[in-house]
Amino acid sequence: MIMHNNISKTDLKTKIKTKQIRFAGNNNLKIYGKLNCKSGKRMKQENRVFFSTVKEALKNNFRPCGHCMKEDYKKWKNEIV
């Protein structure tokens, strides 16, 4: 997990381009999603974290976004109910 405030713009762009970063999450809400998600783009930079894999996000107790990852969200929701 990489905090947005702890990575330079250049390093962030490089990691996204090389697919070392594939997902972003909100550290306060514990939600992660795709980098192009409308909901994710609205979050404050100080709350944003980055993940390379879904497994990494789940390991850090984040749940899938209900907007950009509907199938994963449904699966996650059914597992906790």
Name the residue range of residue 9's domain: 2-80
Q: How many CB atoms lie within 10 A of CB 46?
A: 10
Summarised one tens digit per residue, pLDDT across range 11-49 is 999 999 999 999 999 999 999 999 999 988 899 999 999
The number of folded domains in the chain is 1
Q: Please report, for the domain that includes residue 40, its CATH number.
A: 3.40.10
Whole-angstrom distance, CA of residue 62 vs CA of residue 51: 10
Distance CA(11)–CA(15), nearest Å, equals 6
- Mean of all residue pLDDT scores within the chain: 94
Report the predicted TM-score, pTM, of the whole model to 2 decimal places: 0.91
Q: Closest by alpha carbon to 27, among 55, 57, 52?
A: 57
**pLDDT at residue 81 is higher than 80:** no
Q: How far apart are CA 53 and CA 20, in angstroms?
A: 9
